[in-house]
Amino acid sequence: MNNPNACGSSTHLNRRTLLKLAGASGMGWLTPVSEILAATTEKSGDRHAPAKSIILLWLSGGPSQLETFDPHPNQEIAAGTTAIKSSVDGIQLASGMQHTAELMEHIAVVRSVVSREGDHERAAYNVKTGYRPDPTIVHPSIGAIVCHQLPLGKTEIPRHISILPDARSGRGGYLGDQFDAFRLGDPDQPLRDLRRRTDKERFEQRLKNLDVVERAFAKGRIANLEQNRTLHKTIMNEAVTMMNSEQLRAFDLSEVPSAELVAFGDSAFGRGCLVAARLIETGVRCIEVTLRGWDSHVSNHEIHQAKVQELDPALAALIRHLRERSLLDETLVICGGEFGRTPQMNPAGGRDHWPHGFSIALAGGGIQGGQVIGETDPAGSRLPYEAGIPVENIHATALNALGIRSELELETPIGRPLKLCEGQIIPGLRRS
* Lowest-confidence region among 53-57, 133-137, 203-207, 319-323: 203-207
* Lowest-confidence region among 166-175, 185-194, 221-230, 363-372: 221-230
Residue range 323-369, pLDDT digits in tens: 999 999 999 999 999 999 999 999 999 999 999 999 999 999 999 99
* pLDDT of the residue at 5: 37
Residue range 207-258, pLDDT digits in tens: 556 665 666 666 654 444 444 555 556 655 555 555 556 778 888 998 899 9
Across residues 173-177, what is the average pLDDT?
94
Residue range 113-159, pLDDT digits in tens: 999 999 999 999 999 999 999 999 999 999 999 999 998 878 878 89
Query: At 200, is the pLDDT very low, low, confident or very high (cuts 50, 70, 90)?
Result: low
**The pLDDT of residue 66 is above 80:** yes
Residue by residue, DSSP assigns 41-107 as: HHHTT--SPPP-EEEEEEETT---STTTT---TTSGGGTT--EEE-SSTT-EEETT-HHHHTTGGGE
* pLDDT of the residue at 1: 29
Instruction: Quote the CA–CA distance of 240 and 207 in Å, as a whole number.
Output: 9
Amino acid type, 147: C
pTM for this predicted structure:
0.82
Query: At 292, is the pLDDT very low, low, confident or very high (cuts 50, 70, 90)?
Result: very high
Residue range 397-421, pLDDT digits in tens: 999 999 999 999 999 998 999 999 9
Q: What is the mean pLDDT of the chain?
A: 84
At a CB cut-off of 8 Å and minimum separation 6, what does 32 contact?
A: none
The answer to whether 181 touches 162, Cβ cutoff 8 Å, is: yes
Q: In order of start, what are the domains of the chain with their CATH numbers?
A: 10-188+258-419 (3.40.720), 190-252 (no CATH)
* pLDDT of the residue at 3: 34
Across residues 162-184, what is the average pLDDT?
93
Amino acid type, 306: A
